[in-house]
Amino acid sequence: MTGPHAALSSEFGALVDGVLAGNRRALARLITRVENRVPGADAAIAALYPHTGRAAIVGITGAPGTGKSTVVNALTRVFRARGQTVGIVAVDPTSPFSGGAVLGDRIRMSDHAGDAGVFIRSMASRGSLGGLSATTNDVTRILDAAGFDLVLIETVGAGQSEVDIARTAYTTIVVDAPGLGDDVQAIKAGILEIADILVVNKADRPGVENTVRALRAMLDLGHRMRAVPHHGQRLIQDDTGASPEYDFWQVPILKTVAAENEGLDAVADAIAAHGEHLRESGQRQERERQRVEAELIDRLREVLLARLLAAQTPAALADVVDRMAARTLDPGSAVAELLAIRD
């Protein structure tokens, strides 16, 4: 095979061509192979990579019970009415025993099942922390390369581990709802800090104004950083000593009743306005660098760990674990031993 797909097998070359041509069957098949990490899938992603960067990537996160899936479903209806195509990545939690997932978001979003302008993919988190699947970035790139105007990523909704979405999406929507308990929970572990748009769903419930006031008070406590470090760290450190830059985007708090399709036009308008803000302020490029830097860290960690474990025999690893369990070897010394580090 010659040309841009020279490194691909005939199967993956055909799938890549199909994705670029908008073939939904090829799209679904390639995503399945990427999720299952079939040999050759990485080469397919590499072939699609130059065709990415055009879609608006929007993350939707929040605690369980806030109605994230219903918001995504109703928001998709608004975008389709405006003539925009939508790819949806719905990440569901994985059973720690079977490794499977309920994938219930497909049930909630069945309204769009026959719409050629909507593609819905449910993914199991497969133990990945941060509310996303380990292959979410690659699946998002496939949908981007396939030409979708927007890619909506709905996280697991596990609560306070959802901040990774801010390093994946250009615009992050945090969904809250009245009556879920202590309003201070919204600010813990950075959940409120990552919001570009706050949506108070189920706004027909009692207590909605109290929730809005509490969120506004929290937003008024300070300004948000322009960049979200990867687990509090940056791979490329700034040696200039410059003061951190802040993002002065005024986070809107929007009330919706997604089950009744109320208030979603304002959310769609806010997404468009935030995208324009990113372009005018130069943050679109900053967030793209932030995305790929965080992904590079994750991929390096995964590959280096795999290489380390492959270099050890099962017996050697079992011996280290046995000695740690017997308290004759501490965790730090165990790491140094496996890495062959000597003082």
**pLDDT by residue (tens digit) across 300-334?**
888 899 899 898 899 999 999 999 999 999 999 99
From 298, 175, 173, select the one nearest 230 (Cα to Cα).
298
From 244, 255, 183, select the one nearest 219 (Cα to Cα).
183
DSSP 8-state assignment for residue 96: T
Domain check: are 169 and 254 in the same one?
Answer: yes
Q: What is the pLDDT of residue 80?
A: 97
Domain check: are 231 and 107 in the same one?
Answer: yes
The residues near 231 (Cβ < 8 Å, ≥ 6 apart) are none
Taking 70 as the threshold, does the pLDDT of residue 60 lie above it? yes
- Residue 339 resides in a domain: no
Taking 60 as the threshold, does the pLDDT of residue 215 lie above it? yes
Taking 90 as the threshold, does the pLDDT of residue 149 lie above it? yes
Domain check: are 3 and 118 in the same one?
Answer: no
Tens of pLDDT, residue by residue over 160-210, are: 445 678 878 999 999 999 977 655 555 554 567 788 999 999 999 999 998
- Residue 42 resides in a domain: yes
- Residue 328 resides in a domain: no
Tokens of 40: 């050759």
Q: What is the pLDDT of residue 2?
A: 44
Q: How many domains does the chain have?
A: 2
- Residue 315 resides in a domain: no
User: Pick the residue with more confidence: 243 or 149?
Assistant: 149
Domain check: are 59 and 47 in the same one?
Answer: no
Q: What is the pLDDT of residue 85?
A: 97
Q: Which of 32-41, 222-231, 240-249 has the weakest average pLDDT? A: 222-231
Distance from C-alpha of 301 to C-alpha of 296, rounded to nearest angstrom: 8
Tens of pLDDT, residue by residue over 157-169, are: 654 445 678 878 9
Q: Which of 281, 302, 319 is the last residue of a domain?
A: 281
Tens of pLDDT, residue by residue over 227-285, are: 555 444 555 555 554 545 666 789 999 999 999 999 999 999 999 999 999 999 988 88
Domain check: are 3 and 25 in the same one?
Answer: yes
Distance from C-alpha of 84 to C-alpha of 181, rounded to nearest angstrom: 37
Cβ-count burial of 119 within 10 angstroms (0-12 exposed, 13-18 middle, 19+ buried)? buried
- Residue 70 resides in a domain: yes
Q: Which of 259, 281, 303 is the last residue of a domain?
A: 281
Taking 90 as the threshold, does the pLDDT of residue 131 lie above it? no
Domain check: are 18 and 115 in the same one?
Answer: no
Q: Which of 255, 281, 307 is the last residue of a domain?
A: 281
Domain check: are 201 and 220 in the same one?
Answer: yes
What is the domain-level CATH number for residue 197? 3.40.50.300
Domain check: are 76 and 215 in the same one?
Answer: yes
Domain that holds residue 155: 52-281
From 223, 224, 229, select the one nearest 290 (Cα to Cα).
229
- Residue 329 resides in a domain: no
Percent of all residues in the chain with a pLDDT value above 90, rounded to a whole number:
49
β-bridge mates for residue 171, sequence order: 58
Domain check: are 153 and 87 in the same one?
Answer: yes
Taking 80 as the threshold, does the pLDDT of residue 46 lie above it? yes
| Per-residue H/E/C for 192-253 | CCCCCEEEECCCCCCCHHHHHHHHHHHHCCCCEECCCCECCECCCCCCCCCCCCEECCCCCE
- Residue 9 resides in a domain: yes
Q: What is the pLDDT of residue 1?
A: 47
- Residue 306 resides in a domain: no
Taking 60 as the threshold, does the pLDDT of residue 132 lie above it? no
Q: What is the pLDDT of residue 97?
A: 44
Domain check: are 99 and 71 in the same one?
Answer: yes
Domain check: are 84 and 208 in the same one?
Answer: yes
Q: What are phi and psi of 181, to 5 degrees?
A: 120, -150
Taking 80 as the threshold, does the pLDDT of residue 225 lie above it? no
Domain check: are 147 and 258 in the same one?
Answer: yes
Average pLDDT taken over every residue of the chain: 82
Q: What is the pLDDT of residue 106?
A: 52
Q: What is the pLDDT of residue 301?
A: 87
